[in-house]
Amino acid sequence: MGFMLAAAGSAVGLGNIWKFPYMAGEMGGSAFVLTYLICMFVIGLPILVAEWLIGRRGQKNPIHTMEDVAKAEGRSKNWRWVGIIGVLGSFLILSFYSVIGGWATDYIVIAAKGSFVGMNGNGTSQLFENFLGSVSHLFIWHTVFMFATAFIVALGVGAGLERSCKIMMPGLGLLLIGLVVYAALVSGPAFEQAFKFLFTPNWSAITGKAVLAALGHAFFSLSLGMGIMMAYGSYLGKDVNLISTARTVVILDVIVAILSGMAIFPLVFANGLQPGEGAGLIFVTLPIAFGNMAGGTILGVLFFIFLTFAALTSSISLLEPTVELLEEKTRLSRVSATVVSSVVIWALGIACLLSFNEWKQVTLFGKNIFDLLDYLTSKLMLPLTGLGTIVFAGWMMNQQLIREELHLGPALFALWKFLCRIVIPIAVVAIMIYGFMPQK
Ligand code: PHE
């Protein structure tokens, strides 16, 4: 149970509620959603199992785990690079994750002031635009969020926070369901339009870019390719059934994302907003619902509190690998290691938050700093480390032992080998090539 909470706490976060809908909106809806669902179950689930399996064998941090397990299987210790790129990925992701976590936290206060009351799409868009333009605001809340993350990690009280998830997560789930029901009741035909947008296959919208984005998001959403799940695997008892646990985490993660999409897109269509609005999508749409429903102020405050907690349980898992590495490689104490890592990540986060206003024009390869960090991690680093993990599990490890460890019957074992050895590696490589090809 404690393990499930930690794993689900890391997986469910801003990725599901903030990132999933805005990416779906930008990438043409169903083309993204359907590929994301396939990627979650066909690619994400086996990689999640593989990360836990390797982590349980290695019993160390991801870099040493990869090294040790590789050595035990008689393989090169260069496999540790999977762990190294993973830690670097978590470091980069946290820098922008904290900025968005800060938005969620600030929206608790904005909601509490009753700012959403009676607002329409124009109002919420204006509110968000002013919000983004205020560097000092973004700065303060990014700092608050990063401080909270560092505080929890430094004191090693992550487990306590995860326990609070027992209340927060169901709360978040219930509120999301409530928002979907509200959307269904008030937005009339826009609800149907949203449903079609998200789920009716629209093959022409399937581009290399959308498919790569969906793959990257599956990794992001399940916290894969960063050694995080691998590190969690070291806490797993021998008797835990990895496959059924992984299935539960994936299903939960998907449900939260889909609910979020179903709550948001009816509002988009009913209020004449753009699905491709970008990173501000949930902050522009959900306040319309809270501003016009009975008890909306309280519910809005609660929603952003729950969202902030979900973000915190993910951000602590993002900070942990860097801190552990620093603790191990230097003579720093846990507290000092946390302070040093957090300050560097926080500083990078400042560059990232400026890319929403003052530094909007500062671009590299046509992308601002936020987009660049997101691109580099989700579309390049995570798929690469994911690929490394699955190739390692499928080709480098003793398959008979894995079979016993996973309690696989003959059919499932054949499926496991087919997925890990052939389907996933080919799919990931093909998607990356397809995604990086010049787009029409
Ligand atoms: N999975 C988290 C989310 O969806 C984000 C995250 C990514 C956490 C990578 C840890 C590692 O919000």
Q: Report yes or no: 358 and 135 within 8 Å, Cβ to Cβ.
A: yes
User: SS3 of 67, please?
Assistant: helix
- pTM equals 0.94
Angle CA(337)–CA(139)–CA(162) in degrees, nearest 5? 50
User: SS3 of 330, please?
Assistant: coil
Report the chain (440 residues): mean pLDDT per 10 consecutive residues. Answer: 85 96 94 96 97 91 91 94 94 96 97 95 95 95 97 82 80 93 92 95 87 95 93 86 94 97 95 92 95 93 94 93 89 94 97 93 89 94 96 94 92 96 96 84
Candidates 260, 316, 318: which one to mutate for ligand 1, based on the most atoms within 8 Å of Cβ?
318
Atom of ligand 1 nearest to the CA of 318: 10
Angle CA(364)–CA(345)–CA(23) in degrees, nearest 5? 55
Count of domains in the chain?
Answer: 1
pLDDT for res 440: 58
pLDDT for res 416: 95
Residue nearest to atom 6 of ligand 1 (CA): 223
User: With the C-alpha atoms ordered 426, 432, 437, 438, is the resulting torsion angle positive or negative?
Assistant: positive
- CATH code assigned at 109: 1.10.4160
pLDDT for res 127: 96
**Containing domain of residue 362, as a range?**
2-436
Residue nearest to atom 11 of ligand 1 (CA): 223
Distances (CA, A) of 212 to 74, 153, 234, 263: 33, 32, 30, 25
Q: Report yes or no: 68 and 54 within 8 Å, Cβ to Cβ.
A: no
pLDDT for res 124: 96
Report the alpha-carbon distance of residue 6 to residue 60 in Å, rounded: 17
Candidates 169, 220, 259, 379: which one to mutate for ligand 1, based on the most atoms within 8 Å of Cβ?
220
